[in-house]
Structure 1
Amino acid sequence: MSKYSRDLKIIIANEFLAGESSETLSKKYAISSRQIRYWSQVVAIHGDKSFQPTAHLRHAQARLQALKLMWANDWSLGHTSAMLNLVSPGLLFVWLDRYREKGFSGLEYQSRGKPSMKPSRIVSTHCNDEKTVEELKEEIAYLQAENAVLKKWEELRQTKRQQTKKKR
């Protein structure tokens, strides 16, 4: 989620394009003047379609094309980002940095968020009557190991309790 709404960006950019200075708007809205100038550049190019999500840029090939467009036309990060209607020129900088570091594979979309800590346990869809002998043996071995771990954990807990009682 963006820090500033799309509507606010367009309003501030239109005020700048109407002749208000970026420093005045910066003080009025507590936003950097550089950010305001970037927003106004995007609005000047794209108008009402500014800051719309660009799903096609999630693909590595499209990101590479964006970088090639910048290199071919000798554009700056800011101008290229404005031409591509990106939320921030920083996004293009990240792509460029990843491309220099890892090549094309660095441009692949990476999922966000914290990965799950739970191990993926394969659960058989067979009922007990349909399982083979090997599947049943494997399940018994797993349950025995799980039981042993729980017993050891309980034993350690009791030992710890006894030690704390002795200290008192």
Structure 2
Amino acid sequence: MSKYSRDLKIIIANEFLSGESSEILSKKYAISSRQIRYWSQVVAIHGDNAFQPTPHLRHAEARLQALKLMWTNNWSLGHTSAMLNLSSPGLLFVWLDRYHKKGFRGLEYHSRGRPCMKKPRIEPTHSDDKKTIEALKEEIAYLRAENAVLKKLEELKQAKRQQTKKKR
């Protein structure tokens, strides 16, 4: 999610393109003048389609093509980002940095945020027909012990209640 809405970016960029100074707009909206100049560049190139999502740039091949476009035309990061309708030139800088560090693999899309919790491993339950007699006996012994513990806990709770009633 972007910090500023698409509509606000276009309004501010149009104000700049109509002749307003980026310094004045910067003070008016509390946004850096460099950011305002970038937005106006994107709006000047793309018009009403500025700042639309670019899902095709999630693929590593498309990101590499974007970098090659910058290199072949000898464009700056800002101009290339504006031509590609990116939200900020920082994205292209990150791609370039990853490409220099990890090569093509660095351009692959990585999901953001916390990874999903691992699902607990569920042991397959066997029906009683398939269990051996020994396994059934063990299960019965475990259930009886569990039942005895629960009964003892209930007795202790009742005894404690009895004592508090006597004290009153």
Which of 114, 129, 132 lines up with 2:127 in the alignment? 129
Aligned pairs, number: 134
Residue aligning to 1:63: 63
Task: Please report how far the alpha carbon of residue 119 of structure 1 lies from its aligned counterpart in structure 2 after TM superposition.
Answer: 4.2
How do residues 80-159 of structure 1 correspond to structure 2 at under 5 angstroms?
80-116=80-116, 118-123=117-122, 127-129=125-127
Residue aligning to 1:76: 76
Task: Specify whether residues 47 and 129 from structure 1 end up closer, same or farther in structure 2 by C-alpha distance, changes over 3 A only.
Answer: same
Return structure 1 stretches of 4+ with deviation > 2 angstroms: 118-124, 129-133
Task: Specify whether residues 59 and 18 from structure 1 end up closer, same or farther in structure 2 by C-alpha distance, changes over 3 A only.
Answer: same
Q: Residue by residue, what CA displacement relative to the aligned partner does 1:15-68 show, whole Å, maximum 9, x if unpaired?
A: 000000101111111110000000000000000000000000000000000000
Residue aligning to 2:39: 39
- The structure having more radius of gyration, on CA atoms, is 2
Task: Please report how far the alpha carbon of residue 130 of structure 1 lies from its aligned counterpart in structure 2 after TM superposition.
Answer: 9.1
Task: Please report how far the alpha carbon of residue 123 of structure 1 lies from its aligned counterpart in structure 2 after TM superposition.
Answer: 2.8
Residue aligning to 2:160: none
Aligned-residue identity in percent: 76
RMSD: 2.3
Q: Residue by residue, what CA displacement relative to the aligned partner does 1:100-149 show, whole Å, maximum 9, x if unpaired?
A: 00011101111111224x5444435x55229977xxx9xx9xxxxxxxxx
CA distance in 2, matches of 1:92, 1:119: 33
Task: Specify whether residues 86 and 128 from structure 1 end up closer, same or farther in structure 2 by C-alpha distance, changes over 3 A only.
Answer: same
Structure 1 residues without counterparts, runs of 5 or longer: 141-168
TM-score (norm 2): 0.73
TM-score (norm 1): 0.73
* 1:10 and 2:10 matched: yes
Structure 2 residues without counterparts, runs of 5 or longer: 139-168
Residue aligning to 1:162: none
* 1:19 and 2:12 matched: no
